């Protein structure tokens, strides 16, 4: 992987964080929600940085717009150009 690709690769849940969630005394649905929440926080931090506002000031419309733009980048330039790799 090139240096440029590495700098644009985001990890939304580290193996250590995942292991900590696994060790927690939570039900399976609670573990899923915990992983989703940690990952969502990371995505919101990226969106806030891209939009240029503190995370607390993000609006739902800015989030929707960001996802639309990331999807457009994925469709037009390929998955490697998008932030979210799915």
In this predicted model, what pLDDT tens digit does every residue of 37-51 receive, in sequence order? 999 999 999 999 999
Q: Where are the domains of the chain?
A: 14-81
Q: What are phi and psi of 24, to 5 degrees?
A: -65, 150
Tens digits of per-residue pLDDT, 41-86? Answer: 999 999 999 999 999 999 999 999 999 999 999 999 999 999 988 7
The confidence score (pLDDT) of residue 4 equals 34
| 35/46 Cα distance (integer angstroms) | 17
Output the pLDDT for position 86: 76
Instruction: Let me know if 47 is exposed, middle or buried by CB neighbors in 10 A (0-12, 13-18, 19+).
Output: buried
Segment 10-30, tens digit of pLDDT? 788 999 999 999 999 999 999
Report in angstroms the alpha-carbon separations of 7 from 10, 13, 21, 32, 56.
8, 16, 26, 28, 25
The answer to whether 45 and 29 are in contact (CB under 8 A) is: no
Q: What is the pTM of this model?
A: 0.78
């Amino acid at each position: 992987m090139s240096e440029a690709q590495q700098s644009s690769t985001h990890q939304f849940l580290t193996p250590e964080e995942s292991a900590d969630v696994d060790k927690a005394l939570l039900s399976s649905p609670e573990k899923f929600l915990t992983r989703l929440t940690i990952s969502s926080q990371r995505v919101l931090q990226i969106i806030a940085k891209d939009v240029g506002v503190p995370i607390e000031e993000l609006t739902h419309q800015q989030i929707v717009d960001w996802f639309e733009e990331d999807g457009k980048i994925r469709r037009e330039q390929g998955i490697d150009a998008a932030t979210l790799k799915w």
